[in-house]
Amino acid sequence: MNPIFSKILIDVARKKLRAKKGSKSVSDKEIKPIVKNLQVELSHAVQDYIFIIIGVFSAGFGLKGFLLPNKFIDGGATGISLLLGNITTLDLSILLILVNLPFLILASKTINFKFAIKSVIAITLLAIVVHFVEYPIITEDKLLIAVFGGFFLGLGIGMSMRGGSVIDGTEVLAIFLSRKLSLTIGDVLLVINIIIFSFGAYILSVETALYAILTYLAAAKTVDFVVDGVEEYVGVTIISNENKAIRTMLIEKLQRACTIYAGKGGFGKHKESYDKDIIYTVVTRLELAKLQTEIDKIDKNAFIIMGTVKDLKGGMIKRKPLKK
């Protein structure tokens, strides 16, 4: 890391430790783990915002290069903004912020405040890009507009989610309602978008609404491809010499349950097997970035295996009951 940044991190770590201890005497040994944690958080934050910036420019291209010039709409908060843009004189950049604002307030209460702040930044950046950046109009073919407009918009939404934020707030509403109702997140999103497309058919035309459905499907499939589904769980197996610290972090900091397997390492000294604990936990896709950050703080060399979990039963994971 750059020496100037290293010095800044050391100064920040020293101030944090002094405030915590209530004294001015701080040793280098005490500062070192705090500096390491700050370096991990900084590197992950940079990675997250790179994803968000790519997502914002991709979504901007989908909106201004395809959908907006041809008066197309999409699903979700973006679709509501496009629909309002067609029937009012308000600029789309303003509508994107206004429509998403209630969802962001809900996100601060439903998910966490940090997620809401990152989403505010992402949506504000999207509004700025839509207002100031000039994109070329690619085509006037309605089928290509629906498919590729949806693709670039979905790519933008997916990349933003990989960065730990959203640029379309209806996902937040869907998460909130799915916890209250016997519905999956996908079911809630489907109901929301049916309402949007119905208004689109009534205000604009049935043909426009049908193309909007195609746009939504293209965007949804692209989001699935990028983040493998917002509502899916991920099984994480962690093999590390710091397994006790990682287990404590999972339980106390992330408040997630975990299972400890008694395993044997096969590549020890003199090629002899040796005992080792293996940690297994299940998190949501949105929690994955936070988990990786916290593991890196403890052990950057930890061996992590991640796999999509298709179904769960029992344990501490709350499942929705089947529809009767």
- Give the pLDDT of residue 61: 96
Q: For residues 266 and 166, state if they share a domain.
A: no
Looking at the structure, tell me whether residues 61 and 162 fall in a common domain: yes
- 53 and 146 share a domain? yes
Do residues 144 and 171 share a domain?
yes
When pLDDT is cut at 50, 70 and 90, the band that residue 319 belongs to is very low
Q: Are residues 299 and 258 in the same domain?
A: yes
Give the residue-averaged pLDDT of 142-169. 91
Phi-psi region of 285 (alpha: psi -120 to 50; beta: other; left: phi over 0): alpha
Give me the pLDDT at residue 266, please: 72
Write phi, then psi, for 91 (nearest 5 degrees). -70, 145
CA distance 278 to 281: 10
State the CATH number of the domain containing residue 275: 3.30.70.120
pLDDT band of 173, cuts 50, 70, 90: confident
pLDDT at residue 304 greater than cutoff 50? yes
Which residue in 307, 311, 303, 309 sits closest to 279, CA to CA?
Answer: 303
* Residue 186: inside a domain: yes
Q: Residue 276 domain-assigned? A: yes
49 located within any domain: yes
Res 34: pLDDT: 74
Q: Are 249 and 294 in contact (CB under 8 A)?
A: yes
Q: Are residues 180 and 241 in the same domain?
A: no
Segment 300-316 mean pLDDT:
77
Q: So what's the pLDDT on residue 100?
A: 93
Q: Quick check: is 320 in a domain?
A: no
Does residue 146 share a domain with residue 266?
Answer: no
Residue 104 main-chain phi, psi, to 5 deg: -70, -35
Q: Is residue 80 part of a domain?
A: yes
DSSP string, 195-240: HHHHHHHHHT-HHHHHHHHHHHHHHHHHHHHHHS-TT-EEEEEEE-
Q: Are residues 124 and 164 in the same domain?
A: yes
This prediction has a pTM of 0.72
Residues 165 and 264 in one domain: no
The span from the CA of 73 to the CA of 81, in Å, is 8
Q: What is the mean pLDDT of residues 100-126?
A: 91
pLDDT in tens, 7-54: 676 676 667 766 666 656 666 666 777 777 777 788 888 999 999 999
Residue 103 inside a domain? The answer is: yes
Tens of pLDDT along 183-192?
A: 776 678 888 8
Q: Which of 205, 224, 243 is the last residue of a domain?
A: 224
Whole-number Å distance between alpha carbons of 313 and 307: 17
Whether residue 259 sits in one domain with residue 126: no
Q: How far apart are CA 296 and CA 281, in angstroms?
A: 16
Average pLDDT over residues 77-98: 90
Number of domains in the chain: 2
In a domain, residue 194? The reply is yes
pLDDT tens string 265-298 = 776 666 666 788 899 999 887 788 889 899 999 9
Last residue of a domain, one of 203, 224, 245: 224
Structure confidence at residue 156 (pLDDT): 93
Residue 271 is assigned to a structural domain of this protein: yes
Domain span at residue 244?
A: 233-309
